[in-house]
Amino acid sequence: MVSLVSLVGVFALSLKEEVLKKYVFVFISLAVGALLGDAFIHLIPEAFENSPNSTAVSLLIILGVFVFFIFEKILHWHHHGEDIEEPAIHPAGKLILLSDGVHNFIDGAIIGISFIVSVPIGIATTIAVILHEIPQEIGDFAVLLHSGYERSRAIWLNFLSALSAILGVLIAFALQGAGEAFVNLALPIAAGGFIYVAVADLIPELHKTKEAKYSLLQILAVIIGVGAMLALLYLE
């Protein structure tokens, strides 16, 4: 169910391509807000709450930023070194697939751990994760489109990335008690990855829009993305 949320991009198949391209920046702005909101409102506070060593958590967040920086460097080297293969695909698209895959994996592990505690807690956690995923998956899909993927391929790749949640559940069941320690280690790294993608890749793309009307729409969409993640605190 959590993985199927990634298919929200199907609604874009009904839109005309010129309309989608004209307003895709609004959804990218939503992705910026959702990524930053998720990192600073959900992942980082939870990481600090679950760890007695705040310095270690801070270093892991920086590690997450650094890992995604290195990964993007590798993508750029590969991009400039290739002749024909996917020359139009921007590295931001691959970064969003990686960051979303890591995030969904962690979500799956959290769901698995919750079900180990009790079935009611597991169900409540699953519902919270689904609500959490909807605004982010819409933004992720927009980033894939903006990066050069065709609509049908963007939907498919986003779904494959979301399937990592199943792997997270299975590993949580396999690790049992040790699964929580693994999640606590992965949370700040994922947060660092989200911050990097939002700040280093997506915000510079938004600056390419110069018109005041569209810039105001961008700001509003970022606020909505952050607001959605803030509202989820009360739903969870």
Residue bearing tokens 């993640």: 229
Q: What does the alpha-carbon distance between residue 185 and residue 60 come to, in Å, rounded to a whole number?
A: 8
Q: What is the pLDDT of residue 63?
A: 93
- Taking alpha carbons only, the member of 159, 143, 29, 132 closest to residue 96 is 143
What letter would DSSP give residue 42? Answer: I
Q: What does the alpha-carbon distance between residue 69 and residue 65 come to, in Å, rounded to a whole number?
A: 6
Could you state, in order of their start, the residue ranges of all structural domains in the chain? 18-80+91-235
Q: What is the pLDDT of residue 109?
A: 82
Q: What is the pLDDT of residue 58?
A: 96
pLDDT confidence band for 85 (50 / 70 / 90): very low
Asked if 172 and 16 count as a contact pair (C-beta separation under 8 A), the reply is: no
Q: What does the alpha-carbon distance between residue 35 and residue 136 come to, in Å, rounded to a whole number?
A: 7
Read off the pTM. 0.71
The first and second tokens of residue 94, run together, are 């691959």
Residue bearing tokens 């990686």: 98
Asked if 162 and 103 count as a contact pair (C-beta separation under 8 A), the reply is: no
Tens-place pLDDT, residues 6-37 = 776 666 655 666 666 667 788 788 888 888 88
